[in-house]
Amino acid sequence: MSLEAAAFWGLALVLLASGLAVVLSKNLFHSVLYLALALVATAGLFLLLQAEFLAAVQILLYAGGVITIVVFAIVVTERLVGERLVQTNRGIVNGGLVSLAVLIAIIIFVTRATLPQTPPPPPADLTQAIGRDLLTRFVLPFELLAVLFLAALLGALFFARKEE
Amino acid sequence: MGLQPYLILAAVLFCIGLFGVLTRRNAIGILLGIELMLNAVNVNLVAIARYAADPAGLVFTLFTISITVAEVAVGLAIVILIFRVRRTVEADHLNLLKG
């Protein structure tokens, strides 16, 4: 087994185990920590796919930003309730059936498609290519993203403001 | 290594997230499931970009990561607002629109 395959299967194991822990853990706070682990394992996959810049973005924005916000939200909603952080699942059979059906459908689709067996040689500098594409080919969505951030900022402030 | 293991890994991760969204009672737990699903899509985008040698997939991933962060911020603001009004974040108790 090559080094790349070993790294892939190791990361896949961590990713799936932590993903299952996110949806099955009884303690909401533990769920968030397992989500952080899953996001870091995904950053490892990005490194394996030679997208170093995206791995850095993944850790900064997801593992840094999202996890912090979620922990804040848990502290706010659970402290005021004054209960333990216990959470349960409902409809496990139905939910499991639906997700299993979706999984089987996707896997049938993937196994029927003809996919490349070996990756092409990596380009010289992917980060440079991302930057160039972002400001030429995708400059309009890039600017729209700024508008979206402004709307999200104002929306979040509006929702979470103090009651008058 | 072919592309197929990456796609199947992403599919399994997506369905784990879907299971979480369908079965969690707590609204924050549902949001965590959505995070997993979006993460699986990002794995797909990066893997396909690598095997097609096109940086467009990486730019798309950048967009989805950024939009997810905005979505989580607004989503959790809504959760906190619901908590203030209804004193609960259990999705089952939020049935004001039920006839």
Domain boundaries, chain B: 4-93
Query: Do residues A38 and B36 make contact, with C-beta atoms less than 8 angstroms apart?
Result: yes
Measured from the Cβ of residue B10, the count of other Cβ atoms closer than 10 Å reads 27
Which residues of chain B make contact with A148, given a CB cutoff of 8 A?
67, 70
- Chains A and B form CB pairs within 8 A to the count of 231
Least confident of A81-85, A144-148, B30-34: A81-85
Q: In 3-state terms, what secondary structure has residue A86?
A: strand
B7 token code pair: 């796609």
What is the topology classification, in CATH, of domain B4-93? Answer: Helix Hairpins (1.10.287)
Q: What is the pLDDT of residues A44-97, one digit of tens each?
A: 999 998 888 999 999 998 888 889 888 888 888 776 555 555 667 778 888 899
Residues 6+ apart with CB under 8 A from A86: A26, A27, A28
From the CA atom positions of chain A, what is the Rg in Å?
20
User: Could you state, in order of their start, the residue ranges of all structural domains in chain A?
Assistant: 1-93, 120-164
Helix axes B56-86, A126-135, angle to 10 degrees: 70
pTM as predicted: 0.89
Q: pLDDT tens digits, residue range A116-145?
A: 787 777 777 888 888 898 899 999 999 999
Of the partner residues A49, A53, A155, the one whose CB lies closest to the CB of residue B74 = A155
Fold of the A1-93 domain: Four Helix Bundle (Hemerythrin (Met), subunit A) (1.20.120)
ipTM of the modeled complex: 0.90
